[in-house]
């Protein structure tokens, strides 16, 4: 655990149930190897760092050896980070799968192929993902980034992702199962099939892979480990299988165990799952060892800390006076991070970053999805800035009459109104968007009539309801409040200006086309038409959504 982290106040509710085959599962870690270091709940629930996790794995492997059973460690992707990836080499993963974040940019995909995948000796799986690159002779080679299979029992599958970089390909899952290599791989019956991939266990294409295997092997146990939507989830596609998804950001360690019968048996499997909060209380409770920390675990703990310092992530910009929440409190409100962002952070940072326009009336429109996490009281570091606002979107602007500018926000939100709260946009999902499902999951936890178990006197945390029998959460919690926010938010125009006053309409670069379309629709009858030629960058190239917090904090929180 990092020195500035806060220990969890909670403990697991019961020992784990071991079987003949057991699994530990991580997914969507997204670089959270330092653990969650803030003191405000629920962050201490996830205060274990990657070194603590490594020690936990080592101790659990030793327990498995003593019991004479198998324990496999699997990961479902979203780990990309050239330097931080090296810490994974010190953890004994049995199977890893590629995620979509490893494919957005070709250099990252190439790095995964050349420097990450080879270290796993066939255990890094990418059954439907390929990369094209130039070899030493200048010839083009098309190969799997990892390996298609491991001993014909394991496959790594990515959802039908469409946002991948040029020179990488993602084969549709429905096409993959018709490939000759796949049919050959499943022809021989193993003791079990292990499917690990960056794809949610419900509302996606795992049934396609599952059914292809079942057509050949009707009763062989199948274990599926998914990811991508950041939720805790479980489903059984039949009585001799289980599918598990284990959250995000090193908050959750998934556990699955099964008592195996013969592959030819049709009797239901005895299979269990548990969602473990990633903290030292969890790890020490389930290992019960006198000396929990291993030398390799301690090395990783110090290593991730040193890496954070080397990349200047520990730089303190100022001290946040209170907690600000992404969805735990309504927007607008004094404790909303969205309110803080548009009403205080952006106006101040833009005024500092572009003083020549600071006196010109303006409104700044951003998408609420630009903010990704809560902002907690205390020292606000460069690392916190990336956590809360990770995207490097630039600010653009052009001048319009205030009477038009004041209507743009509502029109933007109306433009997205067809995306009903309960309907997912398939195009957005195919390009990697997960907020819809993750927010729906959080909303359901809070709105659900308090389950079958009391939440009195419990700490805040995830309260999971999935499609598998029994209670899945290892540590019981009270659900975190959840409030929806509009898709777009804006800083208010100054009061007292006339509709004819020219103001700076400031917005983020990636929805420039939408802004121009809306402004031109609002300008019909005025004789004015706006185009990209009217749009300019607001301030220098360093004024981005992932830098404005630092500018603001240095000015206002010291």
Residues 6+ apart with CB under 8 A from 469: none
The answer on 330 and 215 residing in a single domain is: no
Last residue of a domain, one of 264, 287, 310: 310
Residue 434 placed within a domain? no
In this predicted model, what pLDDT tens digit does every residue of 417-430 receive, in sequence order?
545 445 677 877 66
Question: Would you say the pTM of this structure is higher than 0.85?
Answer: yes
Last residue of a domain, one of 250, 279, 310: 310
The answer on 251 and 338 residing in a single domain is: no
Q: Are 556 and 318 in contact (CB under 8 A)?
A: yes
Give how far Cα 342 sits from Cα of 328, 348, 394, 406, 416, Å. 17, 10, 15, 15, 20
pLDDT of 196 strictly over 50: yes
The answer on 118 and 189 residing in a single domain is: yes
Category of 164 on φ-ψ map: left (φ > 0), alpha (ψ -120 to 50) or beta = beta
In this predicted model, what pLDDT tens digit does every residue of 48-106 receive, in sequence order?
999 999 999 999 999 999 999 999 999 999 887 889 999 999 999 999 999 887 888 88
Residue 359 placed within a domain? yes
Cα 364 to Cα 351: distance, rounded to the nearest angstrom: 12
The answer on 151 and 209 residing in a single domain is: yes
Number of helical (H) and strand (E) elements in the chain, helices listed first: 15, 23
Last residue of a domain, one of 310, 326, 347: 310
The answer on 227 and 99 residing in a single domain is: yes
Residue whose C-alpha is closest to residue 383's, from 552, 556, 546? 546
Strands 140-144 and 154-158: unpaired
Q: Are 544 and 537 in contact (CB under 8 A)?
A: no
The answer on 259 and 203 residing in a single domain is: yes
149 band by pLDDT with thresholds 50, 70 and 90: very low
The answer on 75 and 152 residing in a single domain is: yes
pLDDT of 540 strictly over 90: no
The answer on 305 and 341 residing in a single domain is: no
Residue 454 placed within a domain? no
State phi, psi for 264 to the nearest 5 degrees. Answer: -80, -10
CATH of the domain at 397: 3.90.780.10
Residue 442 placed within a domain? no
Mean pLDDT over all residues of the chain? 91
Give how far Cα 160 sits from Cα of 30, 154, 168, 244, Å. 20, 19, 13, 19
Looking at the chain, the whole-number percentage of residues with pLDDT higher than 90 is 77
Residue 29 placed within a domain? yes
Looking at the chain, the whole-number percentage of residues with pLDDT higher than 70 is 93
State phi, psi for 473 to the nearest 5 degrees. Answer: -70, 130
In this predicted model, what pLDDT tens digit does every residue of 96-144 receive, in sequence order?
999 887 888 888 889 988 999 999 988 888 888 887 866 655 544 444 4
The answer on 111 and 160 residing in a single domain is: yes
Q: Which two tokens stand for residue 442?
A: 């959080």
Please report which residue ranges of 71-189 form alpha helices under DSSP H.
Answer: 106-111, 173-176, 180-185
Q: Which two tokens stand for residue 545?
A: 């959504």
Category of 104 on φ-ψ map: left (φ > 0), alpha (ψ -120 to 50) or beta = alpha
- Provide the 8-state DSSP code for 529: -
What is the span of the domain harbouring residue 546?
Answer: 316-421+484-556
Residue whose C-alpha is closest to residue 490's, from 370, 341, 336? 341
Residue whose C-alpha is closest to residue 35's, from 301, 290, 297? 301
Q: Are 371 and 384 in contact (CB under 8 A)?
A: no
- Domain total of the chain: 2
Beta strand spans in 50-174 (E):
70-75, 95-97, 124-125, 129-134, 140-144, 154-158, 168-170
The answer on 111 and 252 residing in a single domain is: yes
Q: What is the pLDDT of residue 159?
A: 67
Note if the bond before 207 is cis, omega within 30 degrees: no
Q: Which two tokens stand for residue 325?
A: 């929440």
- Provide the 8-state DSSP code for 102: G
Would you tell me how many other CB atoms lie within 10 Å of the CB of residue 7?
Answer: 13
The answer on 297 and 357 residing in a single domain is: no
Cα 191 to Cα 170: distance, rounded to the nearest angstrom: 29
CATH of the domain at 278: 3.60.21.10
12 band by pLDDT with thresholds 50, 70 and 90: very high
In this predicted model, what pLDDT tens digit does every residue of 322-353 receive, in sequence order?
999 999 999 999 999 999 999 999 999 999 99
The answer on 165 and 217 residing in a single domain is: yes
Residues 6+ apart with CB under 8 A from 258: 19, 20, 21, 22, 221, 223, 242, 269, 270, 271, 272
Residue 403 placed within a domain? yes
In this predicted model, what pLDDT tens digit does every residue of 15-39 receive, in sequence order?
999 999 999 999 999 999 999 999 9
Q: Are 35 and 52 in contact (CB under 8 A)?
A: yes
Q: What is the pLDDT of residue 418?
A: 42
């Amino acid at each position: 655990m990092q020195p500035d982290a806060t220990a969890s106040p909670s403990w697991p509710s019961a020992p784990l149930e071991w079987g003949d085959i057991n699994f530990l599962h991580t997914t969507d870690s997204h670089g959270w190897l330092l653990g969650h270091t803030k003191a405000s709940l629920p962050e201490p629930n996830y205060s274990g760092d990657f070194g603590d996790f490594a020690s936990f794995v080592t101790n659990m492997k030793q327990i498995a050896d003593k019991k004479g059973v198998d324990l496999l460690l699997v990961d479902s992707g979203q780990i990309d980070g050239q330097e931080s990836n090296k810490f994974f080499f010190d953890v004994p993963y049995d199977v890893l799968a590629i995620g979509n974040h490893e494919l957005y940019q070709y250099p990252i995909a190439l790095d995964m192929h050349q420097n990450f995948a080879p270290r796993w000796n066939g255990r890094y799986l990418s059954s439907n993902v390929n990369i094209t690159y130039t070899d030493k002779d200048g010839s083009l080679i098309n190969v799997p980034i990892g390996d298609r299979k491991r001993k014909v029992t394991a496959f790594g599958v990515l959802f039908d992702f469409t946002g991948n970089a040029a020179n990488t390909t993602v084969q549709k899952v429905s096409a993959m199962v018709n490939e000759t290599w796949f049919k050959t791989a499943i022809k021989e019956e193993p003791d079990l099939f292990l499917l690990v991939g960056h794809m949610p266990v419900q509302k996606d294409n795992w049934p396609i892979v599952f059914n292809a295997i079942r057509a050949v092997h009707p009763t062989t146990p199948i274990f599926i480990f998914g990811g991508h939507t950041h939720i805790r989830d479980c489903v059984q596609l039949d009585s001799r299988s289980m599918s598990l998804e284990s959250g995000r950001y090193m908050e959750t360690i998934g556990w699955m165990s099964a008592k195996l019968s013969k592959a030819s048996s049709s009797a239901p499997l005895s299979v269990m799952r548990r969602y473990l909060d990633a903290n030292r209380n969890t790890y020490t409770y389930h290992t019960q060892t006198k000396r929990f920390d291993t030398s390799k675990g301690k090395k990783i703990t110090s290593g991730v800390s040193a890496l954070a310092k080397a990349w200047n992530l520990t730089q303190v910009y100022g001290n946040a006076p209170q907690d600000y929440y992404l969805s735990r409190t309504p927007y607008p409100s004094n404790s909303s991070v969205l309110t803080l962002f548009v009403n205080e952070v952006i106006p101040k940072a833009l005024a500092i970053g572009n003083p020549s326009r600071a006196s010109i009336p303006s409104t700044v429109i951003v998408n609420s999805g630009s903010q990704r996490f809560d902002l907690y009281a205390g020292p606000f570091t460069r690392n916190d800035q990336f956590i809360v606002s990770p995207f490097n979107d630039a600010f653009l602007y052009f001048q319009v009459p205030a009477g038009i500018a004041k209507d743009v926000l509502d029109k933007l939100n109306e433009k997205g109104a067809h995306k009903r709260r309960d309907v997912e946009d398939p195009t957005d999902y195919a390009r990697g968007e997960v907020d819809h499902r993750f927010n729906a999951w959080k909303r359901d936890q809070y709105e659900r009539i308090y389950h079958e178990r009391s939440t009195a006197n419990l700490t805040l945390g995830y309260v999971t309801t999935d499609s598998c029998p029994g209670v899945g959460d290892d540590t019981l919690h009270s659900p975190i409040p959840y409030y929806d926010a509009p898709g777009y938010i804006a800083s208010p125009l100054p009061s007292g200006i006339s509709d004819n006053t020219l103001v700076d309409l400031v917005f983020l670069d990636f929805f420039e086309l939408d802004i121009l379309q809306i402004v031109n629709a609002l300008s019909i009858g005025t004789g004015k038409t706006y185009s990209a030629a009217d749009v300019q960058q607001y301030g220098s190239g360093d004024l981005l959504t992932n830098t404005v917090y630092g500018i603001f904090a240095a000015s206002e929180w010291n």
